[in-house]
Structure 1
Amino acid sequence: MSFLKRIDYAALNSRQKENYNFHKVAARLADYGFNSIRLSDDWQGADFIAGHIDGNTFFKVQLKARFTIDKKYLGRGIHIAFLADDACYLYPHDEIVEAVLALGVMNADAALWRDVGTRHWKKPPRWAQTLLAQYKV
């Protein structure tokens, strides 16, 4: 379409980037029978709810700009969604935390995890790519 012009993601402000990422992730989930409903506030830690057409499967999803684990999401039934290059990932937060600790790439005493309670990687490291492969949407 010649009258439409692609935007430069880097030129967007943070709220615009979040909207952009939501729609990109929601479009991917739609291919798998999910309807995504954006929430106006972080309800129980979720930015949006993804409900499957089966009427039984629902995900509370926190949208992130990168691969992230955070203690504030532990025990809340949160899935994390993020985009990396052309890939979209949706993973169960608590399971990934357990897997990261089990891999030994980070331990419970790692300074950032212990003191700040969060870890994130701009691009998933090689070990994370292997771990996340099963959660690629």
Structure 2
Amino acid sequence: MKRIGVLALQGAFAEHIVMLRQLGAEAVPVRLPEELEGLDGLVIPGGESTTIGKLMHLSGFNVSLQRLLADRFPVLGTCAGMILLAKQVIGISSYSLAAIDIKVRRNAFGRQVDSFEVDLQIFHNYFLSLVD
């Protein structure tokens, strides 16, 4: 069984762990650089790329991960993770691993403050059925 780490500093790491486990992998949260040891791959999840990048920088994660990336260690980035892995970022990006030769546009669909989650109560079209 493959042992896949999910960077668990911020963002959607819990959802990635659940999905990887459903796919049969041994998925583990990774919060410290030394937890990269013994992994078969790493997922950098979505979240806020500046926050994840800053936390990686403060903890020394970026240095450890860049060493692994230089040795062709398998890493998948989703959303913010992809932004952090990209060699070229359009828009403000303070932190980058510059590991994948891609160009990404940060916040292409708008800022995160423009998106939200809400509990929504769905009801049948009772009122519309009264209109002929």
Pairwise same-fold verdict (TM > 0.5): no
More strand by share: 1
State TM-score, norm by structure 1: 0.33
